[in-house]
Amino acid sequence: MSPPPGPMRGRRHGPSMPTEKAADFRGTIVKLVRYCRPYLPAILIAVVFAALGAVMSVIGPNFVGDLSDLISEGIPVAGHSGVIDMDAVMRISVILLSIYAASWVFNFLQGYIMATTSQRIARTMRSEISAKINRMPLRYFDRHQFGDTLSRVTNDVDSVGVALNSSIGSLVNALAMLLGCLVMMLWTNWIMAGVAIIATVFGFVLMFTIMRRSQKYFVGQQRVLGEVNGQIEEVYSGHTVVKAFNGEYGAIGQFVDANGRLYSNAWKSQFLSGMMMPLMGFVGNLGYVAVCITGSVLMVQGHADIGTIVSFMIYVRLFTSPLNLIAQANTSIQSAAAAGERVFEFLGEEEMEDESSKTAAIDEVRGKVEFDHVRFGYLPDKTIIHDLSFTAEPGSKVAVVGPTGAGKTTLVNLLMRFYDPDSGEIRIDGIPTSDMPREKVRDLFCMILQDTWIFEGTIRENIVYSEEGVTDEDVMRACDAVGLIHFVNTLPEGLDTVLDDRASISAGQRQQITIARAIIENAPLLILDEATSSVDTRTERVIQRAMDDLTVGRTSFVIAHRLSTIRNADVILVMRDGDIKEIGNHDELMARNGYYAELYNSQFEE
Amino acid sequence: MADGMTRMDKLRLFMRYTERKDYLMLMAAFLFVVVQVYMDITIPGYMSEIVELLYTPGTVPSDILGTGGWMLLCALVSLSAALVTGFIAARVAATVAMRLREAIFRKTLSFSMEEIGRFSTASLITRSTNDITQVQLFIAVGMQVIIKAPIMAVWGVSMILGKNFEWTLVTAGAVVILVLIMSVIVFVAIPKSRLIQSLTDDVNRVTRENLTGIRVVRAYNAEGYQEEKFEDANRRLTDTNLFVSKVMSLVSPSMSFLMSGLTAAIYIVGATLIDSALPLERTALFADMVVFSNYAMLIIMAFMSLSMITIIAPRSLVAAGRIVEVIATDATIADGTETEGVPGKEGTVEFRDVSFSYPGAQEAVVSGITFTASKGDTVAIIGATGCGKSTIVNLIPRFYDVTSGSVMVDGRDVREYTQRSLRDRIGYVPQKAVLFSGTVRSNVSYGSEDATDEEVRKAVAVAQGRDFVESMEGGYDAPIAQGGSNVSGGQKQRLSIARAVCSKPEIYIFDDSFSALDYKTDLNLRRALKDEVGDATVIMVAQRIGTIRDADTILVVDDGRIVGSGRHDDLLRDCPVYREIALSQLSEEELS
């Protein structure tokens, strides 16, 4: 029930990887802000707390400096009193600790509010995507891969959530800290501030130059890693064929080559990304020394005191860290914008037409189905069904035949209003289905498709599904009708057995459950795809009997594979290349000696 | 067998993928780390020297410049040492990863279907990709920290230990608090984060169910039901997410509080100490205080990175263990030495009382299988799903080895051949067509790379693929996407058949390869095969009576045993199982 975990799927990577960029960054951010509107007050409060927290971190060192000054008063040198004012020390200590405590409170509240807010926003986004899926036309899903929609529900929403959670806080915090540091440094001593800024900026220019140069290795590493992993996936999944055709020698040669290229990219990008931290450290030390030397020069000249130098030692460190944080937050916001863009794109997709004004309904269904000059194409400029007209009388059987890929499901799509015809009408008991709301049309049909669909849940849940007021007796009766009752009774949990990827149920049992589901629904019309799935002969017979029982008294549309079904059908629609080629019953069609006859004979010809 | 391995065995095997050169490199890295830590520790010394200088009357800026210069030099040496260490770590990590990746790839290719089945393809892919990356990252980043953190911690502690009891106590207190915060992460947040993964999977699953069953959902008007289910999964995910983020929002401010609080505490304790000290000791004590606050930070950092390692290491160890498990597994199929069959027996396939059961399984999948296919014969195998049809044909190219009895190809037991020469004789077409990324041509000539254009074209024509291939953009050079996702199922199957035809085998194996084709293509294809390669032996598994009714021999398999063998008409008369299968597909009159 779940696809194999491939390395190519999965989440996006860490910070050293090149980030995706949104096509319309500004537009996406505007949309995101508008989306977060109900939470804006909370976010604003968090921003204020972030700024306050930063202010606390910045003014703290000043008091450490004062503390240091007070203590140094106790050192017996000229100009010092030689006495430590312990009262003042205590007073400043209390202030200092209160500042740190306040900083803790502000940062915690900021984190708490943003965590709560971003999770709520992520939850709303997921819900909206899920609800959106049910409002979109099938056209979209027939054309887009499921994986794409899935990754929007999880990965993309996650990216947005993480960015909201961490980036806003740390960005505001870092900006405030940077600004605060700058102000405090300038205010304390502008000469030393200038020196600290020059040293830091020099370091960062150096660092960014290296990082820019290394970008190509990151890109290369991602590309070659994709190539290597692709080879692994391909060769492993085609293992038998590789072995049967002695392809391992060639495969190993190719792999060794790509693996070698991966090695050279991998160590380079690893080395370069590992340089960040030591370089940061060096920039910090550079700033420190620069500040100390300048400080000492100034002190000798009487323009600074020891406290100033001590607080600058801390400012220099505080000053370098936000720059790094801003760079990180920027990366995270960039990827969130790219993810957000995909989420909003999905939420902005065209929806099915609103049908709340349609009121037509059929009270007592007789089951006459008419196709009246129906014209249809999946693409606007590519009509595949050109002009289809036929009538299925109440209780009759319509067989749809044709080779694989002939478009037999198109008819199901039109009957169930998964797609609407481009022109012409489909009428049930004289009422055009386009005049009825979709739910009403679908209520009229039992549908059994070839791709059996079982979801994770108990057998009972799978059979009852969305039907209400179904008793266990009903379920057991349905199980009996499809020959599933013995299987259910042998299970220790019976109907409560959970069907998940650990439970091994056969293809036949899946079919049987699907049919039981249709029996419970008990709608007056039937759509049936009787594809010969790989089940053993006995089960197949049971399934066929259950299917045949379902057709009794119901107008049925059968995508037929069994010759007996085809020959007994009242109307046979012969399909080829998407369109209906011939219509008639078996004898008529055989007499015509056309495509149907050719198709039919190809099985027995020798 | 990999299951019985102890952790020590695994480690030993893992070590085999490191060479002496790597150890020399690691030793060098160790030395450079020591240099780096030494420099990092010396730097605070210069700092306090600068501070002392500042307090010493008569200091001129050039003195500070001198000391500052030394300090900067140390910083530069530290940076260089760190870069060299990083270089070595990156090289060693990439080298080990490259070797492991190649080893696991080669090993997997040597596996038979049995080992593949035991691990599962998906798991083997994860082990060869994500797990290797995990190990590489750990060696590159984790190893440095593992070497560096203890050196830092021990050194830092030894530097301050003798100095002052009160400050040591304050630092020790900070370490204890750090450990407490870290244990909140390890014991509260991490287990919940694991839960998040499975809850995310739930959200994914419900969405996937909704998407794969979208027609059913709409047919049953069950959109509301699905949304309710989604909301439930969504709520559980959000609640757990909220819990973890709330805990984490507590952790990060606490960390910075701890760090800044420690500095403040050292100063406050320092004030008391200096206040009660003799005036002459005060200068030294003050310098000590600055140094101490630096070392204390060093120790905290060391403990922090150590705890990070305890969080990351287990995952990498598991990944390494999973890789080693694959490498330690030996393929059950051993190569023979023969390359030639017995003269005069070319093109024959013979099963002599063959049984096969999975290792450790009670029941045999197939047993007592005996039949002979002479050159040019068509032998068809039919029976219910799971009856062992595919297993029988899989024994011919040695995807599995027999448990007892023997399978002979060209008059010789398949186990006597080298795998290469055995498989050169066989053209195999699996049930599920496999295409590789490349072109139509590269797929058809796979395994027979020296095939001419003419041969490729011919093979495609025999496989009834000429029309669609020639209508593709680029024709025979049209690109094929990974897994053949840009061609339809029937087209895939035809290319897969063309591949077998192109390799000009003595023996064809079709493992239910025709079911994906419509009746007409099926018929044309069998005719073309007969015309073009009539002298080749064909062993085919099939589901449709129509496909096999003209076979020279039909084997009817039920529950792993042959319950009937002969031609269509005889079986219809004599074999009840065959008759039952036939009747489920055709009516009496059609069969007669």
The predicted complex's ipTM stands at 0.82
What's the mean pLDDT in B344-362? 88
Chain B hits for A93, Cβ within 8 Å: 264, 267-268, 271
The owner of tokens 């009538």 is A391
Q: Do A201 and A165 share a structural domain?
A: no
Best of B88, B114, B212, B268 to disrupt the A interface (most A CBs within 10 Å) is B268
Residues facing B444 on adjacent strands: none
Q: How much of chain B exceeds pLDDT 90, in percent?
A: 29
Q: Is residue A335 one of the residues assigned to a domain? A: yes
Q: Dihedrals φ, ψ of B347, to 5°? A: 75, 10
Q: How many domains does chain B have?
A: 3
Pairing of strands B378-383, B366-373: unpaired
- Over residues A513-559, the pLDDT tens digits come to 999 999 998 889 999 887 655 566 677 778 888 888 888 889 999 98
Q: How many CB atoms lie within 10 A of CB A370?
A: 17
Q: How many domains does chain A have?
A: 3
Two tokens, residue B404: 């007892």
Q: Do A112 and A47 share a structural domain?
A: yes
Which is higher by pLDDT, A496 or A317? A496
Q: Do A241 and A167 share a structural domain?
A: no
- The angle, 0 to 180 degrees and rounded to 10, between the axes of the packed helices B453-462 and B519-533 is 130
Q: What's the confidence (pLDDT) of residue A543?
A: 82
Best of B73, B115, B215, B434 to disrupt the A interface (most A CBs within 10 Å) is B215
Q: Do A215 and A184 share a structural domain?
A: no
Q: What's the confidence (pLDDT) of residue A117?
A: 92
- Over residues A240-282, the pLDDT tens digits come to 889 888 888 889 999 999 999 999 998 998 888 888 778 877 8
CA proximity to A390, closest of A415, A365, A369: A369
Give the residue from chain B lying closest to A415, CA to CA: B219
Q: Do B208 and B87 share a structural domain?
A: yes
CATH number of the domain at A329, please: 1.20.1560.10
User: Which residues form the domain of B212?
Assistant: 2-328
Distance between B283 CA and the closest CA of chain A, angstroms: 6
Cβ pair A55, A180 in contact under 8 A: yes
Cβ pair B414, B396 in contact under 8 A: yes
The rounded mean pLDDT for chain B is: 86
Q: Do A244 and A101 share a structural domain?
A: no
What's the CA gap between B124 and B323, in Å, rounded? 9
CA dist A121 → A112, B202, B226, B339 (Å)? 14, 19, 21, 67
Two tokens, residue A253: 């040669």
Distance between B352 CA and the closest CA of chain A, angstroms: 22
| Cβ contact B584–A540 (<8 Å) | yes
What's the mean pLDDT in B483-500? 86
Pick from B305, B328, B351: which residue ends a domain? Answer: B328
Q: Do A103 and A31 share a structural domain?
A: yes
CATH number of the domain at B571, please: 3.40.50.300
Q: Do B275 and B183 share a structural domain?
A: yes
Cβ pair A325, B70 in contact under 8 A: no
| Cβ contact A2–B208 (<8 Å) | yes
A105, burial (CB in 10 Å: exposed 0-12, middle 13-18, buried 19+): middle
- Over residues A50-103, the pLDDT tens digits come to 889 888 877 887 788 788 878 877 777 666 677 788 888 889 999 999 999 999
Chain B hits for A147, Cβ within 8 Å: none
- Over residues B4-53, the pLDDT tens digits come to 567 677 777 777 777 788 888 888 888 998 898 888 777 777 877 777 77
Looking at A295-384, which runs of residues are DSSP E strands? 369-376
| Cβ contact A606–B387 (<8 Å) | no
| Cβ contact B261–A100 (<8 Å) | yes
Cβ pair B517, B548 in contact under 8 A: no
Q: Which amino acid is at A478?
A: A
CA proximity to B510, closest of B490, B527, B493, B531: B493
| Cβ contact A248–B109 (<8 Å) | yes
User: Which residues form the domain of A295?
Assistant: 190-303
The owner of tokens 């077409």 is B429
Distance between A275 CA and the closest CA of chain B, angstroms: 6
Q: Is residue A466 one of the residues assigned to a domain? A: yes
Minimal Cβ distance to B91: which of A78, A267, A456? A267
Chain A hits for B82, Cβ within 8 Å: 277-278, 281
What's the mean pLDDT in B426-442? 90
| Cβ contact B261–A97 (<8 Å) | yes
| Cβ contact A246–B423 (<8 Å) | yes
**pLDDT-derived band at A6, boundaries 50, 70, 90:** very low
Minimal Cβ distance to A76: which of B225, B282, B290? B282
Q: Do B121 and B193 share a structural domain?
A: yes
| Cβ contact B54–A295 (<8 Å) | yes
| Cβ contact B268–A89 (<8 Å) | yes
Q: Do B199 and B230 share a structural domain?
A: yes
Pick from B290, B308, B328: which residue ends a domain? Answer: B328
Q: Dihedrals φ, ψ of A419, to 5°? A: -130, 155
Tell if the pTM clears 0.90, that is, is over it.
Answer: no
Q: Is residue A537 one of the residues assigned to a domain? A: yes
Q: Which sign, positive or negative, has the C-alpha torsion B446, B452, B453, B454?
A: negative
Across A574-583, B47-56, B370-379, least confident range? B47-56
Q: Do A221 and A164 share a structural domain?
A: no
Cβ pair B41, B159 in contact under 8 A: yes
- The angle, 0 to 180 degrees and rounded to 10, between the axes of the packed helices B519-533 and B489-502 is 10
Cβ pair B380, B555 in contact under 8 A: yes
Pick from B293, B311, B328: which residue ends a domain? Answer: B328
Pairing of strands B507-511, B479-480: unpaired
Two tokens, residue A191: 């000469």
What's the CA gap between B451 and A421, in Å, rounded? 49
CA-angle at A268, arms to A233 and B131, nearest 5°: 35
DSSP string of A141-201? HHHS-HHHHHHIIIIIHHHHHHIIIIIHHHHHHHHHHHHHHHHHHHHH-HHHHHHHHHHHH
Q: Do A155 and A30 share a structural domain?
A: yes
Chain A hits for B140, Cβ within 8 Å: 270, 274
Q: Do A206 and A172 share a structural domain?
A: no
**DSSP helix/strand/coil, B334:** coil
Compute the radius of gyration of chain B from its Cα atoms: 36
DSSP string of A91-127? HHHHHHHHHHHHHHHHHHHHHHHHHHHHHHHHHHHHH
CA dist B157 → A269, A510, B432 (Å)? 35, 66, 65
**pLDDT-derived band at A4, boundaries 50, 70, 90:** very low
Q: Do B417 and B317 share a structural domain?
A: no
Chain A hits for B225, Cβ within 8 Å: 465-466
Q: How many CB atoms lie within 10 A of CB B338?
A: 15
Give the residue from chain A lying closest to B61, CA to CA: A297
Chain centroid to Cα A519, Å, comes to 35
Chain B hits for A104, Cβ within 8 Å: 253-254, 256-257
**pLDDT-derived band at B474, boundaries 50, 70, 90:** confident
Q: Which sign, positive or negative, has the C-alpha torsion A351, A356, A361, A363?
A: positive
Q: Do B387 and B274 share a structural domain?
A: no
**DSSP helix/strand/coil, A560:** coil
User: Which residues are CB-contacts of B521 (< 8 A; sequence separation ≥ 6)?
Assistant: A403, B464, B490, B494
Give the residue from chain A lying closest to B588, CA to CA: A564
Q: Do B183 and B74 share a structural domain?
A: yes
Give the residue from chain B lying closest to A289, CA to CA: B68
Q: Do A141 and A198 share a structural domain?
A: no
Chain B hits for A72, Cβ within 8 Å: 55, 286
Q: Is residue A311 one of the residues assigned to a domain? A: no
The DSSP letter of residue A567 is: H
Q: Is residue A359 one of the residues assigned to a domain? A: no
The rounded mean pLDDT for chain A is: 83
pLDDT score of A360 more than 70: yes
Cβ pair B533, B378 in contact under 8 A: no
CA-angle at B312, arms to B311 and B316, nearest 5°: 135
What's the CA gap between A457 and A468, in Å, rounded? 17
pLDDT score of B366 more than 50: yes
- Over residues A402-414, the pLDDT tens digits come to 776 677 788 889 9
**pLDDT-derived band at A1, boundaries 50, 70, 90:** very low
What's the CA gap between B66 and B492, in Å, rounded? 76
Q: Do A459 and A395 share a structural domain?
A: yes
Q: What's the confidence (pLDDT) of residue A16?
A: 41
**DSSP helix/strand/coil, B221:** coil
CATH number of the domain at A373, please: 3.40.50.300
Q: Do B406 and B276 share a structural domain?
A: no
What's the CA gap between B135 and B116, in Å, rounded? 23
Across A304-318, A382-396, B498-512, least confident range? A304-318
What's the mean pLDDT in B365-379? 92
What's the CA gap between B526 and A264, in Å, rounded? 51
Q: Do B515 and B493 share a structural domain?
A: no
| Cβ contact B208–A146 (<8 Å) | yes
Q: Do B557 and B494 share a structural domain?
A: no
Which is higher by pLDDT, A299 or B4? A299
CATH number of the domain at B185, please: 1.20.1560.10
The DSSP letter of residue B370 is: E
Q: What's the confidence (pLDDT) of residue B39?
A: 85
Distance between B534 CA and the closest CA of chain A, angstroms: 16
A286, burial (CB in 10 Å: exposed 0-12, middle 13-18, buried 19+): buried
| Cβ contact A442–B219 (<8 Å) | yes
What's the mean pLDDT in B513-519? 76
CA proximity to B81, closest of B143, B38, B46: B38
Residues making up chain A, counted from first to last: 606
User: Any long-range contacts for A223-230 (C-beta under 8 Å, 24+ apart)?
Assistant: A224/A258, A224/A261, A224/A262, A224/A265, A225/A262, A225/A266, A225/B133, A226/A8, A227/A258, A227/A262, A228/A255, A228/A258, A228/A259, A228/A262, A228/B101, A228/B129, A229/A7, A229/A8, A229/B129, A230/A8, A230/B437, A230/B482
| Secondary structure, 3-state, B345-359 | CCCCEEEEEEEECCC
Q: Do B454 and B347 share a structural domain?
A: no
A127, burial (CB in 10 Å: exposed 0-12, middle 13-18, buried 19+): middle
Q: Do A230 and A204 share a structural domain?
A: yes
Q: What's the confidence (pLDDT) of residue A170?
A: 82
Give the residue from chain B lying closest to A544, CA to CA: B584
Distance between B305 CA and the closest CA of chain A, angstroms: 13
pLDDT score of A25 more than 80: yes
Q: Do B580 and B442 share a structural domain?
A: no
